[in-house]
Amino acid sequence: MNMNLSVHHSGAYSLFFGTLANEKRLAIMNVLRKKPLCVSEICAKTGFEQTLVSHHLKMLEYHGMVFVKREGKYKYFSLNEKTIHPLLDLIDAHMRQYCCKIMEGIR
């Protein structure tokens, strides 16, 4: 990795991984992996309050991790299929191979 690029973008790394590091945002992104949902559907699937979901969706949208599309009076949120969905798939594979085993005391 180019050191100048790394130093220059270190704030962006912190921003990106800080956004991913929140358990509630991860839960919201995981329910959006299957299909776009409106806020009330996300609330039903996660058990989170509407204000909390809306707050986290606003942050995820701002960082380009989810997109919003208005259909009538509803806004449907979808996971960024180009970058975030494949990234979550890679993270899942890594966790299965390493992290889950560590948590089970196998590794």
Domains of the chain, start order: 23-103 (1.10.10.10)
**Partners of 69 in the beta sheet?**
76
- From the list 49, 78, 48, the residue with the least C-alpha distance to 64 is 78
Please list the pLDDT of the chain residue by residue as tens digits (107 residues): 455 566 668 889 999 999 999 999 999 999 999 999 999 999 999 999 999 999 999 999 999 999 999 999 999 999 999 999 999 999 999 999 999 999 999 87
Query: What span, in angstroms and rounded, lies between the C-alpha atoms of 43 and 77?
Result: 12
